[in-house]
Amino acid sequence: MNSATTVGTTARPSIDSRWLQLIVIWAVLLTVPLWLPFVGGYTALAGRVLVLGLAAMSFNILLGFTGVMSFGHAAYFGLGAYGAGLALKYLAASTPLAIVMGTLLGGVLGALFGLLIVRRRGVYFAMVTVAFGQVAFYVAYSWNDLTGGYDGLRGFTREPLHLGFTDIDITNNGNLFYYFLLFVFAIAVALQGLLLASPLGRTWLAIRENERRARFLGIPIERHIWLAFTISCFFTALAGSLYALLNNFADPMALHYSLSGEIVIMTVMGGMRAFWGPLLGAAVFVVLQDYISSMTVNWMSFIGLIFVLVVLFFPRGLLGMLRRRDAA
């Protein structure tokens, strides 16, 4: 999976620095519960970074590695959250089942919607994805009986994991739940890394780099954009289902286009041409949001300002900048 971290970047780090990057990232993620309290954080915040980071990395399969812009990815995130919540509330008290149901709900609806829109390009593609997102938002907002409407879906909690030989209590133990999130996150990003380093991933890269050339190399563009969109939606819905477990709650704002925008901001701020960029972007976004919103209700204007500065001074994102420096 490490080979995917540099696909298509102009500043190519050496193999060594790629391993170093990987070691640093995993060392930080694995030790979060040890040092986070000392810097004033709490584990649920780290969980948020993982979940939104996964959403942004999933979104980046489409934006950074296929070159297609969606402004409605919150739809699949939110559908994942509602799918997981509804499964826990009405189907069975099982955390794995909730994750599967959430991922399927968001992923399958994304796949079907994708069929309708793959012929659109650029702004038109982005606009119809916003439209679908808002449709999903208003359904969740209005369908009071099922979704809880404006107040969101309550009345479910994540369940302990039953592994046969032992039970893992992720319900009350925040650190254990963090490691559970990290476990799911690790599997998901490993799959993404393998996908992007495969010949299929190179096909998508070809579409991003030059759609016309790719078409005349015999690549059926629409089919591949649909595939990338669908896979991106499944991973985003997985992140959404984890979000419902994290909060024991699913609300319509998880479907709202403002979250779609935040996913775009995290991705671009972190660096959309870098595999780990969106995770870094999510970390910066979530921490800033937590820190600034404790001081002012206008936190979004500060994040907006920081975003503008990042885009102006580091057009390749924060990770892109670090990488360029280390290549120089």
- Where along the sequence are the contacts to another protein (CB under 8 A)? 8-10, 194-195, 198-200, 202-203, 205-206, 209-210, 212-220, 224, 227
Q: Closest CB to another protein among 154 and 202?
A: 202
**CB of 201 vs another protein, minimal distance in Å:** 9
Task: Using alpha carbons, select from 52, 73, 54, 75 the residue that is nearest to residue 286.
Answer: 52
Q: Closest CB to another protein among 97 and 111?
A: 111
Q: Closest CB to another protein among 9 and 95?
A: 9
Q: Closest CB to another protein among 121 and 215?
A: 215
**CB of 31 vs another protein, minimal distance in Å:** 32
Q: Closest CB to another protein among 203 and 247?
A: 203
**CB of 239 vs another protein, minimal distance in Å:** 22
Burial class (CB in 10 A: 0-12, 13-18, 19+), 285: buried
Q: Closest CB to another protein among 211 and 290?
A: 211
Q: Closest CB to another protein among 112 and 217?
A: 217
**CB of 92 vs another protein, minimal distance in Å:** 32
**CB of 45 vs another protein, minimal distance in Å:** 35
**CB of 210 vs another protein, minimal distance in Å:** 5
**CB of 118 vs another protein, minimal distance in Å:** 14
3-state secondary structure the chain: CHHHHHCCCCCCCCHHHHHHHHHHHHHHHHCHHHHHHHHCCCHHHHHHHHHHHHHHHHHHHHHCCCCCCCCCCHHHHHHHHHHHHHHHHHHCCCHHHHHHHHHHHHHHHHHHHHHHHCCCCHHHHHHHHHHHHHHHHHHHHHCHHHHCHHHCECCCCCCCEECCCCEECCCCCHHHHHHHHHHHHHHHHHHHHHHHHCHHHHHHHHHHHCHHHHHCCCCCHHHHHHHHHHHHHHHHHHHHHHHHHHHCCECHHHCCHHHHHHHHHHHHHHCCCCCCHHHHHHHHHHHHHHHHHCCCCCHHHHHHHHHHHHHHHCCCHHHHHHHHHHHC
**CB of 224 vs another protein, minimal distance in Å:** 7
Q: Count CB-CB contacts under 10 A for residue 2.
A: 13
**CB of 110 vs another protein, minimal distance in Å:** 19
Residues 52, 33: Cα–Cα separation, whole Å: 18
Residue 233 near residue 76, CB atoms below 8 Å: yes
Residue 259 sits at the vertex; the CA angle it makes with 258 and 262, to the nearest 5 degrees, is 95
Q: Closest CB to another protein among 32 and 319?
A: 319
Q: Closest CB to another protein among 165 and 216?
A: 216
